[in-house]
Homo-oligomer: A and B are copies of this chain.
Amino acid sequence: MTETTRYKADPLATVRSMMRQYGGIFLALVVLCVFFSLSNPRFMSVANMMNILQQVAVIAIAAFGMTWVILLGEIDLSVGSIIAVAGMVGAQVIGLGWGFAPALALTLLSGALMGALNGVLTAKLLLPSFIVTVATMSIYRGMVSLPTNGAPAMIMDPTWTAIGANSLLGVPIIIWIVIALFLANHILLSKTTFGRRTYLTGGNREAALYSGIKVDRMKIVIFMISGLMASISGILLSSRLYSAQTNAGMSYELDAIAAAVLGGTSLAGGTGTMVGTLIGALIIGALNNGMNMLSVPYFYQLIVKGLVILVAVWLDVRSKRRKA
């Protein structure tokens, strides 16, 4: 199902097959937006749309990385902790006075390394990724606090903070970054042999091995992608907050997983797309934003969020089953 659409050239057919493919979840997003717009006319303003995109950026980027991992049939629970470590690495390197570029490079490197560790432990020691990343979630979360003994670290670098605060051509830089990363991940997944190998490996690991795919290396690279995406999320978050918080990103892994699964990525591996994940992340973002606009109390927000996830996934499963 998933794959067929990619080869249509006719744009109308593409739109139709998009609707077929993401029908359930797309509908859920539209219904949500219509409902919130009726409740509060400001919801649909351009300013608020940008708000939503900015707020959802951190989750969406982490969810892009998570999509790769889930496509392989694995899971990465350490994403929230990596987000926090990344911010702290950036803050510390800036604190050393090395400037923006080295801070950026080292932060991304730290994310890739943490992801690589997850990948190596999963691929080489053959431990289940759930347990590996539960463990590294704890380890990385402990590590965040080491440099400052638990305190947040201020980030004074003007370039770093500009990422979260400034705009380019009237659109916040954060949104440009989300768009760029979406396109990069989407193309890598749907247009390249690497993406194809990911689908094949997630679909049947054994068959992939026999077909000459280096599954171990693949796994390590994909956990690195997840770590890298999480570290970019960490950069955006810390730049929005002008500081690295030791509890940053706590439980964001669950939101990232929810976004991917809402978007039709199967936890069994082998099925899913970046477009779906983006829609999933937007649903979560629109929901949080809309309920704040309606002044829904916090506890009710939790309940409604859970219900919307259930309904959206159910719609999606149902529409897929009907097609099959």
- Give the A interface residue count (CB, 8 A): 46
Q: How many copies does the complex hold?
A: 2
Contact of A254 among B134, B146, B150, B257 (CB under 8 A): B134
Q: Is A314 an interface residue (CB 8 A)?
A: yes
Set of chain B residues within 8 Å of A137, measured between Cβ atoms = 254, 306
Q: Mark the stretch among A30-38, A97-105, A204-212, A295-303 that contacts chain B.
A: A295-303
List residues of A whose CB falls within 8 A of some B CB.
77, 121, 125-128, 130-132, 134-139, 141-146, 149-150, 251, 254, 257-258, 261, 266-267, 298-307, 309-310, 313-314, 317, 321
Residue of B nearest to A130 (CB): B267
Contact of A130 among B131, B150, B257 (CB under 8 A): B257
Q: Known: A305-B138, A306-B137. Is A131-B313 also a contact (CB below 8 A)?
A: yes
List 5 additional A-B contacts (Cβ < 8 Å) besides A131-B258, A138-B309.
A127-B310, A132-B310, A134-B254, A138-B305, A142-B304
Instruction: Report whether B314 and A127 are in contact in the complex, using a CB–CB cutoff of 8 Å.
Output: yes
| Alpha-carbon gap, A134 to B259, bound state (A) | 12
The smallest C-beta distance from A321 to any residue of chain B, in angstroms, reads 8
| Alpha-carbon gap, A78 to B261, bound state (A) | 17
Set of chain B residues within 8 Å of A150, measured between Cβ atoms = 298-299
Instruction: Report whether B306 and A136 are in contact in the complex, using a CB–CB cutoff of 8 Å.
Output: yes
Residue of B nearest to A303 (CB): B142
Instruction: Report whether B302 and A139 are in contact in the complex, using a CB–CB cutoff of 8 Å.
Output: yes
Instruction: Report whether A141 and B310 are in contact in the complex, using a CB–CB cutoff of 8 Å.
Output: no
Contact of A134 among B145, B257, B317 (CB under 8 A): B257
